[in-house]
Amino acid sequence: MASEAASHVSIGALGAIFDDTKPHVPEPVVQCVQIKPLPPQQNQSVRYRAVFSDISNYVQTMLATQANPFVTNGLLRKGCFVRLKSFQSNSIKGKKILIILDLEVLQELGECEKIGEPKPLESKIEEDDKTQPTTISSGGFYGSKIQGAPVQANARTQATRPTALASAHATIYPIEAISPYSHKWTIKARCTSKSNIKTWHNRNGEGRLFSVNLLDDSGEIRATGFNDQCDMLYENFQEGNVYYISSPCRVQIAKKQFTNLNNDYELTFEKDTIVEKAEDQNDVPQVRFNFTSIGSLQSVEKDTTTDVIGVLKEVGEASQIVSKTTSKPYDKRELTLVDSTGFSVRLTVWGSTALNFTVVPESVVAFKGVKVSDFGGKSLSLLSSGSMTVDPDIEEAHKLKGWYDAQGRDETFTSHASMSNATTSTMRPDRFKTVAQVREEQLGMSEDADYFSLKATVIYIKPDNLSYPACLSENCNKKVTELDPGQWRCERCDKTHPRPEYRYIMLINVSDHTGQLWLSCFDDVGRLMMGISADQLMEIRQSDDKAAGEVFQEANCRTWNFRCRAKIDHFGDQQRIRYQVSSAKPVNYSEETLRLAEMINSYGID
């Protein structure tokens, strides 16, 4: 078995990787002779080191995090054979090392003890480095010698790649390997996103900043320039261009609230940071996507950041909203995307992207860094750190274009806009539950919301806090405050109205043959159940209590088919399940008869 496996190993391939005078093997086959986890770092993903042998030599490697599943799934093990599909070579303090980006475990070759007596790859060490200890090895790692105290695995590394780079940029480091312990490095990366200059004012002073997203073969990272560095470097960066960026440059834990990138670290430009445009613009990927299909968004958790691609179906008009917290105006535009899953979704773009949006409908558009919201159904919002690419030259875009031209143009799509939409009922079969089943199955106790249908009778409508005064502006509906008689103020719109529009926020108690349940209802459902608007009910209550009581009496003891959403809510240290009605309709007894007949048939009763 060992001899057969040995015949597949690319003998001498590892040495050729570090020697431009020898022919390179595109995807060398090697044996894994050791694998170990790196010492854990705070707030950092688990990393692994492996030693690979080509029988002639062995080399130490670090696995990129995207290759971790090979270890965690038990495929990459000591003695197995692998094909190295993508990697980057470095020399760290005279020690050869590979960064493994992608590999294939050749399970058909099995596993065996180390073949041959491979020797370590040697490299020329500069005279001023001879007195410095090797930093790639931790105590007891394959091929290392323990010299006093163990050396920190990530301490002060310098990477060099002896490939055909300009001599001024001989030290290329993969983004994936950058950490606070990395020093004297240069990355070659594409600027995939560049923010506008932002300013801030607080008690400590004022300042300005901008940020860019950087991409190479191994990963992505965010970099920010403040004040003087903002002034000096902002014009240097253009989206889509490739740059050499050289330390000194501070590496720190990423502030996840400001970035959508999959990296535990981020960069801050310093006064001596060097940024140079690369002559070769083609050897760095254009963009890295991790798409979620539009149909799968229903299962994506609220506030998750993801990437989507779809055909642009509709383009709304640009509009403006006013922030409730800062009172600043923000420009926005709503788009509708569709894909081959048969779903559509509303996506909002902001600022200059909204004002200058010129993409024509039926274009394929990819969005990187969109935030998922579940208010009124799943919707998306493009983050300031995100980006938009029109008709990208990628496989997913070509497939979407082909599908849309062949059949998608004439299809009807299910909307994520609201669970109360008529089309949404086709998204999943109605799950009719009894009140007892809702409680026994603990619907709403999981991380995601649960949806169910309930046939129940209204037995009580709570008369207190039945409605609230809302803004009259179109699509606002925020609560307004009465300043003086005839003056109602909306902080969101920054407007004063002569009167409000009252909207329902009802709490009702419903019952079926198994128990009772409290449900909350909003304006659309309230109008349907009460038979009049909240505005009309408020007028009646102010002038005729008896007539208002008759409205409540008429709404009571009526049976409805409710479509409900169950989700756990937190109130201080307590938590409870909230059952919210998204739609309601009177019982159609013809449909109800069919449903009950199907239920009986499901029990196999003749």
pLDDT in tens, 541-571: 888 888 999 999 999 999 999 999 888 876 6
Crossing angle for the helix pair 534-543 and 545-555, nearest 10 degrees? Answer: 140
Q: Which residues lie closer than 8 Å to 262 by C-beta, 6 or more apart? A: 219, 220, 290
- Judge whether residue 230 has pLDDT over 50: yes
Instruction: For 335, list phi and psi in degrees, rounded to 5.
Output: -115, 155
Report the share of the chain in percent with pLDDT over 70: 84
Given pLDDT bands bounded at 50, 70 and 90, which one contains residue 20?
A: confident
Report, as an integer, the average pLDDT of 43-51: 75
Q: What is the mean pLDDT of residues 320-336?
A: 83
Under 8 Å between Cβ of 393 and 400: no
Instruction: Choose the weakest-confidence range: 152-166, 208-222, 347-361, 405-419.
Output: 152-166
Residue 1 confidence (pLDDT):
60
Give residue 462's pLDDT band: very low, low, confident or very high (50, 70, 90): very high
Which of 122-136, 265-279, 473-487 bottoms out in mean pLDDT, i.e. has the lowest? Answer: 122-136
Q: Report phi then psi at 306, rounded to 5.
A: -145, 180
Catalogue all structural domains in the chain, each as residue range(s) with its CATH number: 1-120 (2.40.50.140), 175-277 (2.40.50.140), 294-415 (2.40.50.140), 432-466+505-592 (2.40.50.140)
What is each CA distance from 509 to 86, 437, 467, 504, in whole angstroms?
A: 61, 17, 17, 15
Ranges assigned E (strand) in 450-537: 450-461, 467-470, 481-484, 487-490, 495-497, 501-504, 506-512, 515-521
Output 323 or 491, whichever has higher pLDDT.
491
Question: What is the pTM (predicted TM-score) of this model?
Answer: 0.42
pLDDT tens per residue, range 82-129: 999 888 777 665 677 888 888 999 988 888 888 888 888 764 333 334
pLDDT at 422: 39
Residue 128, pLDDT score: 37
Which whole number is the average pLDDT over 360-366?
94
Asked whether residue 202 carries a pLDDT value surpassing 80, the answer given is: no
Q: In this structure, are strands 48-53 and 29-37 parallel, antiparallel, or unpaired?
A: antiparallel
pLDDT tens readout for residues 569-597: 766 666 788 899 988 989 888 888 887 88
* Between 560 and 477, the higher pLDDT residue: 560
Q: How far apart are CA 66 and CA 555, in angstroms?
A: 58
**Chain position carrying tokens 């909230």:** 578
Asked if residue 333 has pLDDT above 90, the reply is: yes
